[in-house]
Amino acid sequence: MLREKVRSTIRKYDMLQPGDRVLVGVSGGPDSVALLHLLVSLRAEFNLSIHVAHLNHQFRAREAEADAQYVELLVQHLGVPYTIETFDVPGFISAKGLSPEDGARRVRYNFFDKVSGRIGATKVALGHTADDQAETILMRLIRGSGTEGLLGILPVRSKVIHPLIEVTREEVEAYLKEHDLSGRLDTSNLKPIYMRNKIRLKLLPLLAEEYNPNIKATLVRTAEILGQDDDYLKSATRKALDRVIKGREAGRVTLDLNRFRLLHKAIQRRLLREVLTLAKGDVLNVTVGHIDDILDLMAAKGSARLNLPNGLIAAKEYEELFIYTHPAQSIMRDLGLFKCQLKVPGKTKVAQLNVEVFTEVRERDFKAKIPKEVATRRAYFDWEKVDFPIYLRNRRRGDRFQPLGMKGRKKIKDFFIDQKIRPSQRESIPLLATGQEILWVVGYRISELAKVTDATKRLLAVEVRP
């Protein structure tokens, strides 16, 4: 008996709890009509409050209006409160540049969210069946989905439940006939135009006839098994995520590649999807191929960048991977070229870097030890060797200097590479310079040209403070 089968599915996946307020999406088709009738019959047993939601998508003009009228008569007959609204989905699809399936899905779920919020629904019940499950799995397999996509339609996803997910369309039709019910026929489902329709009308019948008469049940069972595996892998991925993420802010996530590479490939793939979700909020249109592209990016030498769907970008710099939305959360800092003359002695604010530079001239105290290696933010120079005025600026194409301890000159770009300074940081690393020479790559190395020696009598002290 179908009612017993649905009750078993509800208990198996813990779909309903006593006192739940359930919003039931009813299109007027056979599946949703059967779902509503079944939930009404179980209402007292589970102590449910039921509210019906129907959206006229305006896809089929008079047919759509007739669907809405049918649903209204049905819910009035069953004594269930309802919300029926109309939305110009074709216009929305055209404005957003979406496919009919994607556009309708977005509008429909937004509608359900709005109505469930208004009535305080704790669950949203939808009429997807085992046939829908089989079609979804095949569609995602053809499009190149990973393991998570092959889970198909989850029996429970947040507060969305699918009580008919283990029920076939044949069982639905038999139930409607038994209870003298009917459902509206969506004639667009009879045309092999969209991929799902092609799978339903052509591919599944072919597979059943030529390869496996129980193909639908096989696919549904496969999704159930994968779901059990998925529960375990999700737990492992969450634990790995905490170890691998180095930084996170709105629209951007930074990963430690050294730690990431220690993970099993299965966890790596899942972790990347989690990170993409953290950065963007969803992984819509991200396929297995995109995940493979990110893995290839990580293996690349040096720095590299990859454009992904949904306005996402993956960028590798040394042993870090950045996933961010474009352009607001780019890891690059757009400082432009800046050059600020410093007061000597005195204090100078450099707005571009949000720092202050303090300079001081003093007589050499030969008893005090002057550090030859530069401190992170403070350095000393031989006053007599400095060609004034001096400036704080960022790098220019072709910049060179003679690092302390070296005989020859080196390109600033090569010095940054040797120091493993990420490309995204290089424009914001200040250089202390005269008109012709670079005296200090701030925080890293001073020049050989103005270093303090035993013969130095006067010192120029320069300190850069946040």
The verdict on residue 105 lying in a domain is yes
The verdict on residue 218 lying in a domain is no
**293 and 152 co-located in one domain:** no
Q: What is the CATH number of the domain that holds 394?
A: 3.50.40.10
Structure tokens at 297: 């990016």
Residue 25: φ, ψ to 5°: -80, 115
Q: How far apart are CA 128 and CA 95, in angstroms?
A: 28
- Comparing CA positions, the residue from 178, 81, 149, 152 lying closest to residue 121 is 81
SS3 content of the chain, % helix, strand, coil (to 5): 45, 20, 35
The verdict on residue 221 lying in a domain is no
The verdict on residue 433 lying in a domain is yes
| Residue burial 229-260, b: 16+ Cβ < 10 Å; e: rest | ebeebeeebeebbeebbeeeeebbbbbbbeeb
The verdict on residue 99 lying in a domain is yes
Mean pLDDT of 183-189: 73
The verdict on residue 452 lying in a domain is yes
Phi-psi region of 61 (alpha: psi -120 to 50; beta: other; left: phi over 0): left
Q: What interhelical angle do 30-46 and 169-178 show, nearest 10? A: 70
Q: Identify the bridge partners of residue 85 per DSSP, sorted by sequence position.
A: 55
Q: What is the pLDDT of residue 396?
A: 85
Q: Which of 78-82, 177-181, 284-288, 356-360 has the lowest mean pLDDT?
A: 284-288
**182 and 269 co-located in one domain:** no
Q: Residue 334 above 70 pLDDT?
A: no
Q: What is the pLDDT of residue 101?
A: 80
> Which pLDDT tens digit goes with each residue over 402-426?
988 888 898 988 888 888 877 777 7
The verdict on residue 332 lying in a domain is no
Structure tokens at 70: 């049918």
Structure tokens at 312: 């996402």
Q: How far apart are CA 129 and CA 153, in angstroms?
A: 9
Q: How far apart are CA 100 and CA 79, in angstroms?
A: 33
Q: What is the CATH number of the domain that holds 86?
A: 3.40.50.620
Confidence grade of residue 250 (pLDDT, cut at 50, 70, 90): confident
Q: Residue 372 above 70 pLDDT?
A: no
Q: Residue 105 above 80 pLDDT?
A: yes
Q: How far apart are CA 342 and CA 350, in angstroms?
A: 9
Q: Which of 11-25, 63-77, 321-335 has the lowest mean pLDDT?
A: 321-335
- Mean pLDDT over all residues of the chain? 88
> Which pLDDT tens digit goes with each residue over 193-232?
678 889 999 999 999 999 999 999 999 999 889 988 888 9
Considering 157-161, 352-356, 365-369, 408-412, the range whose residues carry the highest mean pLDDT is 157-161
Confidence grade of residue 465 (pLDDT, cut at 50, 70, 90): confident
Q: Residue 376 above 80 pLDDT?
A: no
Confidence grade of residue 332 (pLDDT, cut at 50, 70, 90): low
DSSP SS3 for 447: strand
Mean pLDDT of 42-71: 90
Q: Which residue has the higher pLDDT, 237 or 421?
A: 237
- Of 292, 325, 358, the residue that ends a domain is 325
**392 and 422 co-located in one domain:** yes
**320 and 343 co-located in one domain:** no
Judge if the upstream peptide bond of residue 327 is cis by omega within 30 degrees of 0: yes
Q: What is the pLDDT of residue 41?
A: 95
- Of 270, 302, 325, the residue that ends a domain is 325
**10 and 109 co-located in one domain:** yes
**319 and 352 co-located in one domain:** no
Q: How far apart are CA 343 and CA 398, in angstroms?
A: 27
DSSP string, 414-455: HHHHHTT--HHHHTTS-EEE-SS-EEEETTTEEBSTT---TT
Q: What is the pLDDT of residue 319?
A: 86
**76 and 31 co-located in one domain:** yes
The Cβ of residue 356 has, within 10 Å, a number of other Cβ atoms equal to 13
Q: What is the pLDDT of residue 324?
A: 85
> Which pLDDT tens digit goes with each residue over 419-451?
887 777 777 788 999 987 899 999 888 998 888
- Of 274, 290, 325, the residue that ends a domain is 325
**372 and 317 co-located in one domain:** no
Q: What is the pLDDT of residue 366?
A: 67
Mean pLDDT of 45-67: 89
Q: Which of 243-257, 320-334, 431-445 has the lowest mean pLDDT?
A: 320-334
Q: Identify the bridge partners of residue 348 per DSSP, sorted by sequence position.
A: 357
Judge if the upstream peptide bond of residue 423 is cis by omega within 30 degrees of 0: no
Q: Residue 333 above 80 pLDDT?
A: no
> Which pLDDT tens digit goes with each residue over 285-315?
788 888 999 999 888 877 788 888 878 888 8
Confidence grade of residue 136 (pLDDT, cut at 50, 70, 90): very high
Q: Residue 272 above 80 pLDDT?
A: yes
Mean pLDDT of 119-143: 93
Question: What domain range is 9 assigned to?
Answer: 2-213
Per the CB < 8 A criterion, the answer to whether 273 and 286 are in contact is yes
The verdict on residue 227 lying in a domain is no
Structure tokens at 97: 């540049």
**45 and 152 co-located in one domain:** yes
The pLDDT > 70 percentage for the chain reads 94
Instruction: State if pTM tops 0.75.
Output: no
CA 268 to each of CA 238, 255, 316: distance values in angstroms, whole numbers, following the listed order? 11, 11, 16
**258 and 299 co-located in one domain:** yes
Confidence grade of residue 367 (pLDDT, cut at 50, 70, 90): low
Q: How far apart are CA 380 and CA 154, in angstroms?
A: 65
Structure tokens at 229: 């595996």
Structure tokens at 219: 């696919």
Domain count, the chain: 3
**149 and 282 co-located in one domain:** no
Q: What is the CATH number of the domain that holds 311?
A: 3.30.465.60
**28 and 61 co-located in one domain:** yes
DSSP string, 25-45: E--SSHHHHHHHHHHHHHHHH
